[in-house]
């Protein structure tokens, strides 16, 4: 069995926050794969479904971000899951917007939701880190993550969430690297072709003729005066 926990804060006032991108990813998976209705259990909103015949539980802790471990730990203990059976989806300020990283184990990098889960499960659970960008000043991070994504962010956020939903069954198969590769392939933008600059010979000649008008009579007094003035 696979447990996928998306991190966020409950309440409509937080629904669009960068901190809630884990909730957003779970909603996309729920829609794409026809999971059952959301219900309350394990201090969370939970939904059950199947990935290639394997049971998967989606869980959105309702304990607020800093206490996510209470909810995730309760569900993991109930199903007797190992940390490797748990994937946590969360926001990551140290990744550029739209970038993702899959990893198992490691530190929490100041993320209180991960710290709470680590205190319950240990550090070896799997993580899907979704980059939301850094505000540039450490003290501004709490404000940054608790504000909504900007409208312009939807250009990368929506395709990313859909790609995560499309390829989520790979997580149930333990194919984390393949999952990451597929997300990258689905979301990378083709670089625009460089257009070669074409020289407009006629325009250049016209400009040149405007700057240096031909002398109709190179032996006339006007021509001789210009030769003295310009050294020609």
Query: Is residue 193 assigned to a domain?
Result: no
Average pLDDT over residues 145-171: 97
CA max distance for the chain: 106
Percent of the chain with pLDDT over 70: 81
Q: Is residue 214 predicted with pLDDT exceeding 50?
A: no
In terms of domains, do 129 and 225 share one?
no
pLDDT band of 189, cuts 50, 70, 90: low
Number of domains in the chain: 2
Please provide the average confidence, as pLDDT, over all residues in the chain: 87
- Tell me the pLDDT band of 221, cut-offs 50, 70 and 90: low
Residue 153 counted as domain residue: yes
Q: Averaged over 113-142, what is the pLDDT?
A: 96
Q: In the prediction, which pLDDT does 208 show?
A: 47
pLDDT at residue 216 above 70? no
62 within 8 A of 45, measured Cβ to Cβ: yes
Tens of pLDDT, residues 55-70: 999 999 999 999 999 9
- Do 208 and 131 have their domain in common? no
The pLDDT confidence band at residue 4, using thresholds 50, 70 and 90, is: very high
Residue 54 has pLDDT above 80, yes or no: yes
We report the CATH number of the domain holding residue 26 as: 3.40.50.1470
Question: What's the pLDDT at 74?
Answer: 97
C-alpha neighbours within 13 Å on the C-beta side of residue 57:
23
194 assigned to some structural domain: no
pLDDT classification of 8: cutoffs 50, 70, 90: very high
Please say if the pLDDT value at position 141 is more than 50: yes
Confidence tier at 193 by pLDDT (50, 70, 90) = very low
On whether both 167 and 208 belong to a single domain, the answer is no
Say yes or no to pLDDT of 197 above 60.
no
CA distance 88 to 106: 13
Kindly list the catalytic residues. 19
Q: So what's the pLDDT on residue 1?
A: 95
Residue 135 and residue 81 share a domain: yes
Residues 6+ apart with CB under 8 A from 83: 76, 121, 122, 123, 124, 125, 126
Give the pLDDT of residue 110.
83
Q: Are 165 and 31 in contact (CB under 8 A)?
A: yes
The domain in which residue 222 lies consists of: 201-230
* Strand ranges, E, within the chain: 2-6, 39-41, 44-51, 54-61, 86-92, 100-104, 126-131
> Is there a single domain that holds both residue 106 and residue 168?
yes
- Please report which confidence band the pLDDT of residue 114 belongs to, taking 50, 70 and 90 as the band edges: very high
In a domain, 142, yes or no: yes
**What is the Cα–Cα distance from 164 to 182, expressed in whole angstroms?**
9
Q: Are residues 33 and 106 in the same domain?
A: yes
Q: Are residues 221 and 109 in the same domain?
A: no
């Amino acid at each position: 069995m696979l447990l996928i926990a998306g991190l966020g804060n409950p309440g409509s006032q937080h629904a669009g926050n960068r901190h809630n991108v884990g909730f957003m990813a779970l909603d996309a998976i729920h829609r794409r794969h026809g999971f059952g209705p959301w219900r309350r259990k394990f201090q969370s909103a939970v939904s059950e479904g199947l990935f290639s015949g394997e049971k998967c539980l989606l869980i959105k802790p309702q304990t607020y971000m800093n206490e996510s471990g209470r909810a995730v730990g309760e569900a993991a203990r109930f199903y007797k899951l190992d940390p490797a059976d748990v994937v946590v989806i969360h926001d990551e300020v140290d990744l550029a917007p739209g970038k993702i990283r899959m990893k198992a184990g490691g530190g929490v990098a100041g993320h209180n939701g991960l710290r709470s889960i680590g205190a319950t499960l240990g550090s070896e659970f799997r993580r899907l880190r979704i980059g939301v960008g850094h505000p540039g000043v450490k003290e501004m991070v709490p404000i940054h993550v608790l504000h909504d994504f900007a409208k312009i962010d939807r250009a990368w956020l929506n395709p990313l969430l859909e790609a995560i939903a499309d390829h989520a069954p790979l997580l149930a198969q333990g194919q984390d690297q393949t999952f990451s590769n597929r997300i990258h392939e689905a979301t990378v933008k083709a670089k625009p072709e460089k257009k070669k600059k074409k020289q407009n010979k006629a325009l250049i000649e016209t400009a040149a003729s405007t700057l240096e008008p031909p002398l109709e009579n190179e032996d006339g007094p006007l021509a001789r005066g210009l030769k003295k003035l310009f050294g020609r």
